[in-house]
């Protein structure tokens, strides 16, 4: 995050930055993963850049104060119902994927995940004793307005890309996603220029590794999107490269931007983490919350250039090899900023 903020300062020198603890850091300082003060600051900001929130230290904590609750609390409180997770295979890294280069080269997928509904938030939920045994319950619930607004967002994004949208559901088994399919189809009537198709989630999981290039934009429920976006991420070679945006619709202020990866506690504090996902999240922030499209492009181009020049943090270093240089977090950030200055 430090490297990402430094990149932002480079392209938007006049912006004001404020910091607040969230997740484990907030729990340590205040006994709660998300305080009213942090939430208030997030509400007032034009955009929020979020660092990963957890680690083994906080795993034994009660469910209600785990770092993840902060993430879910922010999403819910800020109404961030549309989660954009692009999976782009950088040309310099085609060989970093576990799939064959010809399968992944050129992939450019945008997963639009519903983020404030579905089984993550549905009630009833919890574990209780029924007839002498423990029973766990979660509820998959979607209203048509929840489906419609995220579908509109996905169609709008598809319209600005290659005009193809795949809606992913389990309509053959789950009624709530049968409704999902119906509502997405209804919304599609307003987007005759976008080719809409539907796919069951199991098939989509398979198609993503079989032939990922068939996908342009994918729109899906909260849980399916959680799973499929990790799968799409891995196609690109490293989850350390993937940014995300969580929005209360397109064109509004106040989005939240975070790398798709977690906190990687195994390498914390060693200066080895790949800052590129955070830096690319900053670029998305400029594009979607501040409408600073050319500044976003400068950051993205700078990232492509440092990768093209062979700079690698350990997660994307692979076997190393000719033309590549192993660098740490700070040097990677500095090199991106140097390229930004040249652009
Ligand atoms: C994600 C994460 C979160 C989620 C966890 C940490 C709560 O996996 O953003 O994809 O499941 O949404
Ligand atoms: Mg996830």
pLDDT at 236: 87
Ligand 2 mean position to 325 CA, how many Å?
30
pLDDT at 54: 87
Residue 70 in this model has a pLDDT that exceeds 80:
yes
Residue 226 Cβ contacting ligand 1 at under 6 Å: yes
Residue 71 Cβ contacting ligand 1 at under 6 Å: yes
Residue 274 in this model has a pLDDT that exceeds 80:
yes
147 versus 63: which is more confidently predicted?
A: 147
Tell me the ligand closest to 245's alpha carbon.
1
Contacts of 50 (CB under 8 A, 6+ apart): 22, 71, 74, 256, 257, 258
Catalytic residues: 120, 170, 202, 226, 230
pLDDT at 319: 76
313 versus 322: which is more confidently predicted?
A: 313
Alpha helices in 22-143 (DSSP H): 24-30, 36-44, 67-77, 101-104
Q: Is 199 left (phi over 0), alpha (psi -120 to 50) or beta?
A: beta
Kind plus residue range of the DSSP H or E element containing 84: strand 82-88
CA-based diameter of the chain, in Å?
A: 69
Residue 76 Cβ contacting ligand 1 at under 6 Å: no
3 close to 313: Cβ distance less than 8 angstroms: no
Q: Following CA atoms 339, 304, 301, 232 in sequence, which dihedral angle do they give, to the nearest 10 degrees?
A: -140
**C-alpha of 320 from chain center:** 28
Residue 239 in this model has a pLDDT that exceeds 80:
no
CA distance 66 to 23: 7
Residue 95 in this model has a pLDDT that exceeds 90:
no
138 closest CA partner among 152, 117, 156: 117
* pLDDT band at residue 226 under the 50/70/90 scheme: very high
Over residues 178-193, the pLDDT tens digits come to 999 999 999 999 999 9
Ligand 2 mean position to 343 CA, how many Å?
34
The dihedral through the CA atoms of 129, 130, 136, 140 has a sign that is negative
Q: Is the pTM of this model over 0.85?
A: yes
Closest ligand 1 atom number to CA of residue 83: 9
Residue 68 Cβ contacting ligand 1 at under 6 Å: yes
SS3 237: coil
Residue 231 Cβ contacting ligand 1 at under 6 Å: no
What residue owns the CA closest to ligand 1's atom 12?
226
Tell me the ligand closest to 70's alpha carbon.
1
């Amino acid at each position: 995050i430090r490297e990402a903020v430094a990149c932002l300062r480079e392209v938007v020198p006049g912006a004001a930055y404020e910091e607040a603890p969230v997740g484990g850091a907030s729990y340590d300082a205040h006994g709660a993963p998300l305080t009213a003060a942090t939430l208030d600051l997030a509400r007032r900001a034009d955009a929020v850049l979020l660092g990963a929130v957890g680690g083994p230290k906080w795993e034994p904590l009660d469910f209600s104060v785990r770092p993840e609750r902060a993430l879910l609390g922010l999403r819910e409180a800020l109404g961030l119902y549309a989660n954009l997770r692009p999976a782009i295979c950088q040309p310099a890294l085609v060989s970093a994927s576990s799939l064959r280069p010809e399968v992944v080269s050129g992939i450019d997928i945008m997963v639009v995940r519903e983020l404030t509904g579905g089984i993550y938030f549905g009630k009833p939920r919890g574990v209780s004793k029924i007839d002498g045994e423990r029973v766990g319950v979660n509820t998959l619930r979607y209203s048509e307005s929840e489906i419609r607004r995220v579908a509109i967002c996905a169609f709008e994004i598809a319209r600005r890309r290659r005009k193809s949208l795949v809606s992913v559901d389990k309509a053959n088994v789950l009624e709530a996603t049968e409704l999902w399919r119906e509502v997405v189809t209804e919304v599609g009537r307003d987007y005759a220029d976008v080719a809409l198709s539907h796919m069951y989630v199991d098939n989509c999981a398979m198609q993503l590794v079989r032939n990922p290039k068939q996908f342009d934009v994918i729109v899906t429920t909260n849980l399916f999107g959680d799973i499929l976006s990790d799968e799409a991420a891995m196609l690109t070679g490293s989850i350390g490269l993937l940014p995300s945006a969580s929005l209360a619709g397109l064109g509004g202020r106040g989005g939240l931007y975070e790398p798709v990866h977690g906190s990687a506690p195994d390498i914390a504090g060693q200066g080895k983490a790949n800052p590129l996902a955070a830096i690319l999240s900053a670029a998305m922030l400029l594009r979607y919350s501040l409408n600073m499209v050319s500044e976003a492009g400068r950051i993205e181009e700078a990232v492509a250039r440092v990768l093209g020049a062979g700079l690698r943090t350990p997660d994307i270093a692979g076997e190393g090899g000719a033309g590549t240089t192993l660098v740490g977090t700070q040097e990677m950030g500095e090199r991106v900023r140097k390229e930004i200055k040249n652009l």
